[in-house]
Chain A
Amino acid sequence: MIAVFKHELRNYFHSLSAYVFGAFLLVFVGIGAMRYNIWAAVSNFEYVLSFGSLVFVVIVPVLTMRVIAEERRQKTDQLLYSLPITTFQVIMGKYLALLALYLIPLAVISIYPLIFAHFGEVYLPTSYGSILAFFIMGAALIALGMFISSLTDNQGLAAGIGVAVILFNYYSVSLSEYVSGSAFGSVVALLVLILVLGAVVRYITRNENLAYAICIVLTVGVAVLFYADSAALEDLLPDMMRALSLFDRFNTFVNGMFDMTAIVYYLSVIVFFLFLSVQSLEKRRYN
Chain B
Amino acid sequence: MIKVEHLTKCYGDVTAVSDLSFEIGDGQVYGFLGPNGAGKSTTMNIMTGCLSATDGRVIIDGYDIFEEPLKAKAQIGYLPEQPPLYMSETPLEYLRFVGEAKGLRGGELARQIDEVVERTKIGDVKNRCIYALSKGYRQRVGIAQALLGNPRVIILDEPTVGLDPIQIIEIRELIKQLGQTHTVILSSHILSEVQTMCEKIMIIARGRLIAFDTPENLERQLSSPGEISLTTEAGEEEAREILSGLDGIDDMSFAPAASGLLSVKIRTGTDNIYGLSRSIFFAFARRDRALVEMALKKADLEDIFIELTEGGAESGEAKK
Chain A residues proximal to chain B, CB less than 8 Å: 2-4, 6-7, 10-11, 14-15, 74-79, 81-86, 206, 285-287
Contact = CB atoms under 8 A, between A and B. Distances in A.
Given A4-B101, A7-B100, 14 more contacts: A3-B97, A7-B101, A11-B86, A11-B88, A74-B86, A79-B80, A79-B98, A79-B145, A82-B50, A83-B98, A84-B74, A85-B101, A86-B70, A286-B52
Contacts of B98: 79, 83
Given A74-B84, A75-B84, A81 B50 contact: yes
Given A79-B145, A285-B50, A84 B85 contact: no
A83 B85 contact: no
Contacts of B45: 78
Contacts of A86: 69-70
Contact of B102 (A4, A81, A84): A84
B15 to A, nearest CB: 15
Looking at chain A's contact residues, is the secondary structure mostly helix, strand, loop, or mixed? helix
Interface residues of B, number: 32
B132 interface: no
Residue of A74, A78, A286 ringed by the most chain B CB atoms within 10 A = A78
Contacts of B51: 81, 285
Contact of B84 (A4, A79, A285): A79
Contacts, number: 72
A74 B85 contact: yes
A76 B141 CA distance: 13
Residue of B69, B82, B89, B97 ringed by the most chain A CB atoms within 10 A = B97
Contact of A75 (B11, B69, B74, B80): B80
B78 interface: yes
A78 B84 contact: yes
The 8 closest A-B pairs by CB, nearest first: A3-B100, A79-B84, A81-B50, A3-B101, A84-B73, A7-B97, A82-B78, A76-B84
B292 to A, nearest CB: 57
Contact of A83 (B87, B93, B101): B101
A181 B49 CA distance: 51
8 contacts: A3-B101, A75-B84, A77-B84, A82-B76, A83-B102, A84-B149, A86-B69, A286-B52
Contacts of A75: 80, 82, 84
Contacts of B70: 84-86
B312 interface: no
A78 B84 CA distance: 7
B86 A76 contact: yes
B12 interface: yes
Nearest to A286: B52
B245 interface: no
A89 to B, nearest CB: 9
Interface string B68-108: 01110110101010101111110001000110111100000
Interface in B192-222: none
Contacts of B85: 74, 76
A84 B76 CA distance: 9
B101 A287 contact: no
Interface string B225-253: 00000000000000000000000000000
A14 B97 contact: no
Contacts of B78: 78, 82
Contact of B103 (A14, A84, A285): A84
Nearest to A77: B84
A71 to B, nearest CB: 9
A74 B82 CA distance: 9
Contacts of A285: 50-52
